[in-house]
Structure 1
Amino acid sequence: MAQTYRALSVLLSYPTAETSALVPAAVEALHGDRLAPAGLVRRLTSLAFELSGQDLYGAQARYVDLFDRTRSLSLQLYEHVHGESRDRGQAMVELLKLYSSRGLELTAKELPDHLPVFLEFLSMLPTDEAAALLGEAAHVLEALRERLKKRRSPYARVFDILVALVETKRNAEALNALLQEPDDDPDDLEALDRAWAEEQVTFGPDQVGCPKAAAAVARMGETTQ
């Protein structure tokens, strides 16, 4: 089991005093695990300094602008596949079942497709299984990396590592489709309102199923048996 995924989860979590205190240990774990390329880990220095520095409110504001107010950079993985449709809700129900089967129980506030949560789950698995599961989201991770690079965000360096950890062949067609979608401007409030005006996600057995999502989660389950 690799601590690399838990370390990356810390770096991608909303900055708080608690997560800031964990950043030095997270970077140390990345170096010690030797799962990620050493050169990419060294390039995390600026982000680690920002997250563990004194300007916590500044780090929080930058995080919100990037990941909460910019839909094209959302850390909710299924958001990029299903939007806010019922299909996403059903996919998350299946993902919750997978988590539960491996002993991970979430709080009511945690969404299962939130990337830091997903990475925490991967840290509980053998390295080869974790890499296989990460590969299911390869095109989303790569699209997020490219968008963060355009913004010159140090968070892009976390995604450099995530993409490097993926061992499966990327779905070029799915990646191109994501990159062709408009990249949100967090300061354009009217555009953001229009973008979020979709059907709300709900959970439960009465939802319409999503065969594509169910198949993906089934493949995840097979790799973790």
Structure 2
Amino acid sequence: MSNTLRALSVLLAYPTEGLREAVADIGSVLVDEGLVSARERADLWPLLAELRNDDLYDLQERYVELFDRSRSLTLNLFEHVHGESRDRGQAMVDLAALYERGGLTMTANELPDYLPLLLEYASTRPIGEARQLLTDIAPIVAALRERLVARGSTYAGVFGALLVLSGSANAEPVELAEPRDIDADWAEDPVAFGPEAAPGCSSDRTMSRIRAARRDARSEETNHV
């Protein structure tokens, strides 16, 4: 299960040129390890095709729109059940301690409940422990999959595969906060450049490139550690 979990973790990461180059290897892992059935793989192929063929900045914009600017789809799992309450803080402390006991070192800019990080940790554990971790988060994963399906997003396939790996393909989705209400909290004001810029001027591509530069810089720092 370890290679499959790593592959799914990578698919949920911010799109980079490195991810594009790894698409063929990811597809091979999903086939060779055989833990994801042909049906689930069929739901994943459209995402792999997009990552391989679409313009990188378009991929990054879509990712930001889904997971960074939409709180209802944030990949920080505890946000969906604890919000900003103290319960979330304690849950993250407990999860960070679990990672530490398992030998996973987090970087300063990572939150323990970030789904790709949790999957990376699960990929290092014995199969029974890994499956239990996936089972524990299955209700949240099921709810996120429903929301992604409703948006017509190809990322839904990753969440469907995670449910199958957890043995909880029919998990009842946890009741999350209403998307419209919590998304409004995260809405960003339009950005205009220059004294004569029109109100509401779109800057999504510019913001995506800035975010990309920051993420790539953080990734570079991590690689040199």
**TM-score normalized with structure 2 length:** 0.77
Query: Does 2:77 align with 1:84?
Result: no
Cα distance in 1 between the residues matched to 2:150 and 2:23:
25
TM-aligned CA deviation for residue 176 of structure 1 = 5.1
Letter in 2 for 1:100: E
What amino acid is aligned across from residue 182 of structure 1 in structure 2? E
Q: Which runs of 5+ in 2 are unaligned?
A: 188-225
Would the alpha carbon gap of residues 176 and 3 (structure 1) be closer, same or farther in structure 2, given more than 3 Å must change?
A: closer
| Distance in 1, Cα, partners of 2:65 & 2:143 | 18
Q: Is the 8 A contact 2:160 2:169 kept in 1?
A: no
Name the SS of the counterpart of 1:131 in structure 2: helix
Q: How does 1:132-143 map to 2 (within 5 A)?
A: 132-143=132-143
Q: 2:185 aligns with which of 192, 200, 204?
A: 192
Amino acid at match of 1:84: E
1:54, distance to aligned residue in structure 2 (A):
4.8
Is 1:182 matched up with 2:182? Answer: no
* 1:49 paired residue number: 49
Deviates more, 1:113-122 or 1:79-88: 79-88
Change (3 A) 1:57 1:143: same
Q: How far apart are 1:154 and its partner, in Å?
A: 0.5
Aligned position for 2:94:
94
Per-residue deviation, 1:111: 1.1
Separation in structure 1 between the aligned mates of residue 107 and residue 120 of structure 2, nearest angstrom: 13
- Distance in 2, matches of 1:29 and 1:21, equals 14
Compared CA separation, residues 126 and 33, structure 1 to 2 (3 A): same
Deviation, 1:170, is 6.8
Structure-1 separation of matches of 2:35 and 2:94:
29
**Mapping of 1:5-16 within 5 angstroms?**
5-16=5-16
Distance in 2 between residues matched to 1:169 and 1:50, nearest whole Å: 25
Amino acid paired to 2:180: D
What one-letter code is carried by the residue in structure 2 that aligns with 1:183? P
1:220 is matched with: none
Matched, 1:113 2:109: no
Cα deviation for residue 185 of structure 1 reads 8.7
CA RMSD of aligned residues (A): 2.3
Counterpart-to-counterpart distance in 2, 1:176 and 1:102: 28
What amino acid is aligned across from residue 143 of structure 2 in structure 1? Answer: A
1:104-148 C-alpha deviation (Å, 9 max, x unpaired): 001111111100001111110122221111110111000000000
Which has the greater radius of gyration?
Answer: 2
Does residue 153 of the first structure (1) align with residue 153 of the second (2)? Answer: yes
Question: Structure 2 CA distance, aligned partners of 1:166 and 1:155?
Answer: 18
Q: Structure 1 stretches of 5 or more lacking a match?
A: 195-225
- Structure 1 vs Structure 2: percent identity of aligned residues? 49
Give me the whole-angstrom Cα distance separating, in 1, the residues matched to 2:69 and 2:180: 8
TM superposition shift of 1:152: 0.7
Residue number in structure 1 paired with 2:23: 23
Report if the CA contact (8 A) 1:132-1:168 is conserved. no
